[in-house]
Amino acid sequence: MAHHFEISKDKAGEYRVKFKYNSETMFSTEGYSSKAGAQNAIDSFKKNGPNAEVVDNS
């Protein structure tokens, strides 16, 4: 599995989403109070990500 989303529960009891590529975390989200909230974040990334604008602030 080269890349995937991972839902985990942190020490505070919140759900977090990580996007991993070759076992390296590329990004993680804020904490969500429910697993459904974390899944909604994944769905949003999948839906909106391919059309996201790139802003180069370098």
Q: Express each pLDDT in 20-32 by its tens digit.
A: 999 899 999 999 9
Q: Express each pLDDT in 32-55 by its tens digit.
A: 999 999 999 999 999 998 889 999
Residue 2 banded pLDDT, cuts 50, 70, 90: confident
Residue 8 banded pLDDT, cuts 50, 70, 90: very high
Cβ neighbors of 15 (< 8 A, separation 6 or more) are 7, 8, 9, 31, 32, 33, 34, 35, 37, 38
